[in-house]
Structure 1
Amino acid sequence: MSTSSLSNRFGGWLPRSLLARNITLLVALVALTQACSFAVLLNFVQRPRIDRAAIIFSDYVKTLDGVLSAMPPEEGRAAAARLGGQTDLPEHLEREPQPSPVRLFRTWQRDVFVGALQRHLPPDMQVRWQTSDGERLWIRVHVAGEPRWIALPMTEDAQAGGIVTTLALCAGLALLAALTGYLIQLHINRPLKDLARAARHVSAGEASVTLPTDGPTEIAQVSSAFNQMTQALRQAESTRALMLAGVSHDIRTPLTKLRLAMAMAIPRGADDTFVASAESYIDHIDTILQQFMDYAGSGERELPQAGELNALIGQLAADFAGLGHEFELSLGDVPVFAYRPVSLMRLLMNLMQNAIVYGRAGLAVRTWTEGNAACVAVCDRGTGVAASEMENLKTPFSRGTNARTHSGGSGLGLAIVERIARLHGGALVFRAREGGGLEACVTLSMNRHSS
């Protein structure tokens, strides 16, 4: 069986969190070492101690048996009576007590002592242990040639007090080990949680946090590598923005000159269709350049400000209504929260413009709250998008099949929306609208603060 198969098999039995796994393994290791130590204690310390006690006790019993046998019958019976002598054993001694986990080690020690004592006594001197009404040992001795059972008190060596103390000590050490492992793991988990939190900030497009590197060596190395990675990402982002700005400037300059040259070179009254087509192509190129610039800088440097989401949507809806596109508004109770106003306006404009271009009919905007998130849905009654295409629409330069008949876009609009949504601690999802059409739903965290 391969190592990966063993890892998968045993990994299914372990807890998911690193904290729980380490504590479980530590407790298991301590339990194993304690079990080994306990086995050594029983076999090499306690058992020889019990054997020595059995030898001493057997000498005492044999001496007592010899004294009782040598005494006159009447005196011997009287002495045996003073020791609780009986012709027959008490009835409760004939039945073995029910095994109990609590009395397991006491029973083991009793059996070892009785076995060792029986080996050192003559075969006709049988031994029975009384567990009820006090710990006593019944031994069959000879009184005036007749067998008598007498009860003798037990020595401390035959009791299990030492084992019980040892078990309590083992349990205490295991608990101490678990507590120590928990505290150590908490110390290790804290920088790991900081690392995960910083990684989520970077993933959401926020300014990264520099992690401290003064912890344990291994954690410090991970934090240092993460800081180097985020520094490289910041440099790459700056380089990308600078490159796109340069490309935009270098292309727009000749485009402006081309527009002026066309206006000066083509006489008034010439082919208006050609002029309109040429200007349309130039506008198309300018629009694509602007989308590239918008995608390059989707609001990471803009500081959040407290504002009303419904008011922003109402303002945009009024602007679109002035252009002849009516949106039906269904605005829920959304409290004031901090967001990046310019970025969020760009997000809403992109979604509403898409609904106008590709949906055309049944335009609507809904808002509501779910937990600590504000939700916006831009809806239309267009032909909709297949389920297999919905997630692909958020990929840069990806366009749906119903968008290929439209010109003027580069496939970055929804990618920009997705980046701005993640920047606000949310996401963009698509779903089919009840009654036909499509809903583009955006969630925005209302607990997000500026980074």
Structure 2
Amino acid sequence: MRLRLPRSLLSRNIALLVALVALSQICSLAVLLHFVQRPRIERASIIFADYVKLLDTTLASMPPAEGRAAAARLETRNTAPPQAPAEMHPSLADFFRTWQRDVFVEALQRHLPPDLLVRWEASHDNAEPAANGEAAQERLWIRLHAAGEPIWVALPMTADARASGITTALILSAALALLAVFTGYLLQRHINQPLRKLARAARRVSAGETPPPLPTNGPTEIAQVSLAFNQMTEALKQAEATRALMLAGVSHDIRTPLTKLRLAIAMALPRGSNDALVASSESYLDQIDTILQQFMDYAGSGERETLQSGDLNTLVGQLVADFAGLGHEFDFDEGELPVFAFRPVAVMRLLMNLMQNAVNYGRTGLTIRTWRDGETACVIVADRGNGIRADELERLKSPFSRGANARTHSGGSGLGLAIVERIARLHGGSLTFRDREGGGLEAVVRLPLHPPSAGQNGASHTPRA
């Protein structure tokens, strides 16, 4: 099974920090137990063993009557006490308590003679209270010799054999680990804030806006990225101003001689002298003007236009009426659409290009339909032509791409569908094609009811082409 790593930088850094803290805590605990706690227990067991051997020697050297009297003053028993049961699922604190107990008993047994046995009797939570009212405690039983007979004596337990200090150390260590993780989380969130601002600014640039400059007073690495982004947006802004000036110059410098050329033809060839030549010349001039307009439309594609709330069905109805006046009847299937924000001139250009393509290449079965699909307004322009297939039209959305049947319509430059695609993407929408059931083609435009670059109440913004 493939390990799935966290995707975000925040979650990855937190996971790495948790792993490093956990590893450091485990290593620290291993060092504490092996090099600190175990030597302490060993030293305590040696001292305790000396006391036990001294007590055993003292009881064994007494006369039998005095030995039995001395043993009676201690807590003794003649039979072996029950062995402490092994805990099936000990808690973390119980684990270290039992570990210290086992280490202490094992070390004590090593430093005692073989006939002096050691056994630990563990009390339970429900143990009967002692006679003096105190709760029953764990006891250490050692087999000694008194009056020549073996007896089991309960001896007091040293503090080194208990887990009082280690439990506190574990709690403190866990608290410090949580504090380190929480501090790392806050630091990473602080680092991620400029990254989120950078992502939002990049989305605004892709939507055609010019975002305000990003702050450059954060960490050095983030500040360098923000500074580079600010320089990029400034360069794009200057390029847009240069392009706008160039487009204005091209429009003026080319259309002015075209107008003069039309006038010169009209003056050089009086009406009736050579009507075929005049018509052919004017047709070529119209084609040049159309191509020039397509270049201008593609270069602009509505980025400078402000979003406005409007009724898409009303706009479509006006275009259907205009085409009907030119002799091209479209069946309009009007769906229910709410008023939403879009660029009316750009969307009108989008629909006109699609409808003109349907007239040029479809000719029959012209249909346009609107409907709402969730948070998206949809428009279909369909025809019953037998021209280019839908999968071929996807290629023609690239600029300057023309189909095989475009030679019969020489008034364009291969930018019509590219303009439609660009306007749709400007609104956060899409343009797709599909084969129409029963023959023909359908161009499907989807526009979001809440465009990504729409401001409050359709407020304008400074766009980028």
TM-score with structure 1 setting the length: 0.89
What code does the residue aligned with 1:437 have? G
- Equivalence for 1:113: 104
Partner SS for 2:396: helix
Indicate how the Cα distance of structure 1 residues 132 and 52 shifts in structure 2: closer, same or farther if over 3 A, else same: same
TM alignment of 1:70-149, pairs within 5 A = 70-73=61-64, 76-77=67-68, 80=71, 83-93=74-84, 96-98=86-88, 100=90, 102=92, 103-133=94-124, 134-149=137-152
* Equivalent residue letter for 1:197: R
* Distance in 1 of aligned mates of 2:67 and 2:441: 108
Q: Residue deviations 1:208-233, cap 9 Å, x none?
A: 33222222222121111111111111
Matches within 5 A, 1:342-421: 342-383=345-386, 385-386=388-389, 388-421=391-424
Instruction: Say which of 333, 336, 348 aligns to 2:336.
Output: 333
Percent identical pairs in the alignment equals 71
Q: 1:384 touches 1:436 (CA, 8 Å); kept in 2?
A: no
Distance change in 2, residues 1:224/1:389 (3 Å)? farther
Q: Which residue is equivalent to 1:442?
A: 445
CA contact (8 A) 2:81 2:121 kept: no
Task: Give the superposition deviation at 1:38.
Answer: 1.7
Runs of at least 5 residues in structure 2 that lack an aligned partner in the other structure: 125-136, 456-460
- 2:24 is matched with which residue? 33
1:396–1:415 contact (8 Å) kept in structure 2 = yes
**Range with bigger deviation, 82-91 or 414-423:** 82-91
Cα deviation 1:377-430 (Å, max 9, x = unaligned): 322333365465344322211223443442211121222222222222222233
CA–CA separation in structure 1 for the residues paired with 2:58 and 2:389: 105
Aligned residues: 440
Q: What is the CA–CA distance in structure 2 between the aligned matches of 1:331 and 1:123, rounded to whole Å?
A: 102
After TM superposition, the structure 1 stretch with the greater mean CA deviation from structure 2, 228-237 or 279-288, is 228-237
Aligned equivalent of 1:50: 41
Residue equivalent to 2:293: 290
Residues of 2 paired with 1:212 and 1:157: CA distance?
Answer: 59
Offset from partner CA, 1:114-156 (integer Å, 9 cap, x none): 2221222122222222334342222222222232233334332
- Residues 1:233 and 2:236 are matched in the alignment: yes
CA distance, structure 1, for counterparts of residue 195 and residue 151 of structure 2: 75
3-state SS of the aligned residue for 1:334? coil
Q: SS at the partner of 1:394?
A: coil
Cα drift, residue 79 of structure 1? 5.0
Give per-residue Cα distances to partners, 1:330-362, cap 9 Å, x unaligned: 333322122222112112212222222223233
Deviates more, 1:181-190 or 1:154-163: 154-163
State the match for 1:272 in structure 2.
Answer: 275
Tell whether the 8 Å contact from 2:121 to 2:140 is kept in structure 1 after alignment.
yes
Letter of the aligned partner of 1:281 in structure 2? Y
Moved more, 385-394 or 108-117: 385-394
Instruction: Quote how far apart the aligned CAs of 1:284 are.
Output: 0.6
CA distance in 2, matches of 1:245, 1:214: 40
Instruction: Work out whether residues 135 and 153 of structure 1, in 8 Å CA contact, stay in contact via their aligned partners in 2.
Output: no
Aligned residue for 2:217? Answer: 214
Point out the more displaced range, 322-331 or 25-34. Answer: 322-331
- Partner-residue secondary structure (3-state), 1:306: strand
CA distance in 2: counterparts of 1:387 and 1:163, whole angstroms: 74
User: 1:91–1:53: structure 2 CA closer, same or farther, 3 Å change rule?
Assistant: closer
Are 1:204 and 1:419, in contact at CA under 8 Å, matched by a contact in 2? no
- Output the CA distance in 2 between the equivalents of 1:432 and 1:53: 90
Instruction: Identify which range, 433-442 or 106-115, moves more after superposition.
Output: 433-442
Q: Which amino acid aligns with 2:80?
A: L
SS at match of 1:395: coil
Root mean square deviation of aligned Cα: 2.5
Q: Structure 2: which amino acid aligns with 1:113?
A: F
Matched, 1:185 2:188: yes
The 1:384/1:57 distance shift into structure 2, 3 A limit, reads farther
1:22 to 13, 31, 34: 13
Deviation at 1:303, TM superposition (A): 1.5
User: Is the CA contact 1:213–1:223 (under 8 Å) kept in the aligned structure 2?
Assistant: yes
Q: Aligned residue for 2:153?
A: 150
Q: Deviation at 1:46?
A: 1.5
TM-score by structure 2 length? 0.87
> Which amino acid in structure 1 is aligned with residue 88 of structure 2?
Q
SS in 2 for 1:175: helix
Could you tell me which residue of structure 2 aligns to residue 68 of structure 1? 59
Residue 284 of structure 2: which of 276, 281, 285 is its match? 281
In structure 2, relative to structure 1, the CA distance for the partners of 1:84 and 1:213 (3 Å cut) is same
- Deviation of 1:77 after TM superposition, in Å, equals 4.5
**Counterpart amino acid of residue 130 in structure 1:** E
Distance 1:349 1:421 in 2: 13
Aligned-partner residue type, residue 176 of structure 1: L
Q: Is the 8 A contact 1:306 1:338 kept in 2?
A: yes
CA–CA distance in 1 between the matches of 2:372 and 2:337? 6
Say if 2:208 is the partner of 1:205: yes
Q: What amino acid sits opposite 1:316 in the alignment?
A: L
Alpha carbons of structure 1 residues 308 and 292: separation in structure 2 relative to 1, 3 Å:
same
Counterpart residue type for residue 293 of structure 1 = M
Given the superposition, is the C-alpha separation of residues 210 and 431 from structure 1 closer, same or farther in structure 2, using an over 3 Å criterion?
farther
Out of 165, 170, 194, the position equivalent to 1:167 is 170
Cα distance in 2 between the residues matched to 1:92 and 1:330: 90
Determine the structure 2 residue equivalent to 1:6: none
Q: Is the 8 A contact 1:245 1:293 kept in 2?
A: no
Q: Give the letter for the 1:157 counterpart.
A: D
